Structures are given as C-alpha cells and as structure tokens.
C-alpha cells in the first residue's frame, strides 16, 4: 500500500462530509445570530490531497490579500481550522458583528479582537459538533488572526511533514445583503486521518446500527 492510497471509502467519505455539513450548519446558525443576516453556505468539499495542492487550492482562488482566523486542534485527531476571507471584507465583518454605526477608525481598533471572537465561535462550533458526534473530545488552541496569502496559512503548522497527504475540507460562505464572503477550511495530516477513519467507522456503525462490515 502506498502512502497516497485514498484512505477513505465512499461511505466513510460521505459520513465525514455529512459531519462537516452538520458542524458548519450549526456554526452558520451561530454566526447568523452575531451578524443579524442570513449566512449562506456551499456544500462542503472533502478531499485527500497533497499539502502543496491544498495550499494551491486556497491560493489560486484569491489574488488579493487574505485574512484568516486560525485555530489548531488536537485530541484523537489533530489539524488546523481556518476561517478565511479577503482582507478587503475584514472591516465590513467587524461592523456586522460589532455594530453598523462604527467608524472605520473604531472598527480598525477592535478589528483583530472581533475577528478572533467570530472565528472562535464559527470554528469551535463546527469542531465541537464534529467532536461530539464522533464522541472524542478535541482541544482547541486560542484563535489567532493572520494576514497574507493562502499559502502562508498552511505553512508552519505543527503538522508533521510538508510532503505528505492531507485531508482538506472546504466550504464557501457568504453573508446575505453584505459584501462579505469567505471560506472555512480544515487541514488534517495522515496519521490523524487514520484515527479519524476509525472514529468515522464507529460513528457509521452507531448511527446505522450495522455490524462492523457495512459493505453495500
């Protein structure tokens, strides 16, 4: 078996996508309460790709400067979660969560704090829902606001090996009636993915009530 073998079968991939979908849907409901406008979500994409491809996927979509709230998580599985949007949307998002009457200067002053709190609620909400469904606690690092290109967000991770294959989760979001859009992205390394796969199998067996062999 090579390291690049697709480590998830169809039903496992389906289950992971559904877990992410439920996690992100709940997170969007929380974000909606903060901004007061509907949060629109895409269908999540879950792929096993090389780390280089994952960074390119983010980088290619955006030529402009990006801002991201980043949280690393560890536990039974570990990785990095990011809430990413164009830097140009940043102040608009701050106004959306902190109050429309705010001047640009006032918004700028609380920008990082507001962004990290927003990121914390979205990313924690998403990961906590997934952790609960998989019945394994996850420890989340404090949110960190970073600026730069997509490439930079995935570099200098605590994840082992830059050459390896990663699990890359990706969802687009936009806020209705406002000029705010972005992505939620998650990256997990391969050892984590193996553990995650075990948990996903347990989850599938639990919810379907099947025995260990769920072949269909």
Partner 1 sequence: MSISVLIVDDSKLARIVIGKAVAALQPDWRRIEASNASEAIALVRAGGIDLAILDFNMPGHNGLDLAEMIRADHPDMPLALATANVQDELIARARTIGAAFIAKPVTEEAIKGFLSGAALKLRGARG
Q: Kindly indicate which of the ranges 13-21, 88-96, 107-115, 146-154 contains the residues binding partner 1, using the contact rule CB under 8 A.
A: 13-21
Question: Quick check: 146 binds partner 1 (CB under 8 A)?
Answer: no
Question: Quick check: 212 binds partner 1 (CB under 8 A)?
Answer: no
φ and ψ at 171, to 5 degrees?
-140, 135
Cα–Cα distances in angstroms (integers) from residue 31 to residues 75, 77, 169, 215, in the given order? 25, 25, 19, 38
Question: Quick check: 22 binds partner 1 (CB under 8 A)?
Answer: yes
CB of 179 to partner 1, least distance (A): 18
Contact code string over 43-82 relative to partner 1, x by CB under 8 A = x---------------------------------------
Cα distance between residue 185 and residue 201, in whole Å: 23
CB burial class (10 A; 0-12, 13-18, 19+) of residue 29?
A: exposed
Pick from 86, 103, 87: nearest CA to 95: 103
Q: Kindly indicate which of the ranges 18-26, 100-108, 111-119, 158-166 contains the residues binding partner 1, using the contact rule CB under 8 A.
A: 18-26
Question: Quick check: 28 binds partner 1 (CB under 8 A)?
Answer: yes
Cα distance between residue 1 and residue 86, in whole Å: 40
SS3 140: strand
CB atoms within 10 A of CB 156: 8
Q: Kindly indicate which of the ranges 35-43, 68-76, 108-116, 161-169 contains the residues binding partner 1, using the contact rule CB under 8 A.
A: 35-43
Q: Kindly indicate which of the ranges 36-44, 56-64, 75-83, 144-152 contains the residues binding partner 1, using the contact rule CB under 8 A.
A: 36-44
Question: Quick check: 38 binds partner 1 (CB under 8 A)?
Answer: yes
Q: Are 133 and 21 in contact (CB under 8 A)?
A: no
Q: Which residues sit at the interface with partner 1, rule CB under 8 A? A: 10-11, 14-15, 17-18, 21-23, 25-26, 28-29, 32, 38-39, 41, 43, 129, 133, 176, 204, 207-209
């Amino acid at each position: 078996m090579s390291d690049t073998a697709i480590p998830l079968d169809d039903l496992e991939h389906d289950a992971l996508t559904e877990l992410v979908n439920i996690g992100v849907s709940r997170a969007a409901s929380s974000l909606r309460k903060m901004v007061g406008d509907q949060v629109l979500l895409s269908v999540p994409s879950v792929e096993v790709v090389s780390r280089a491809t994952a960074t390119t996927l983010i980088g290619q979509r955006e030529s402009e400067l990006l801002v991201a709230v980043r949280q690393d998580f560890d536990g039974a599985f570990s990785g990095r979660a990011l809430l990413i949007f164009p830097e140009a949307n940043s102040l608009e998002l701050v106004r959306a969560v902190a109050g429309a009457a705010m001047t640009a200067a006032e918004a700028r002053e609380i920008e990082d704090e507001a962004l990290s709190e927003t990121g914390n609620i979205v990313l924690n909400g998403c990961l906590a829902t997934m952790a609960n469904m998989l019945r394994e606690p996850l420890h989340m690092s404090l949110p960190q606001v970073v600026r730069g290109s997509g490439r930079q967000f995935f570099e200098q991770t605590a994840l082992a090996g830059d050459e390896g294959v990663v699990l890359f989760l990706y969802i687009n979001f936009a806020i209705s009636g406002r000029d705010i859009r972005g992505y939620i992205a998650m990256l997990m390394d391969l050892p984590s993915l193996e553990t995650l796969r075990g948990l996903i199998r347990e989850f599938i067996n639990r919810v379907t009530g099947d025995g260990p062999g769920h072949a269909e």
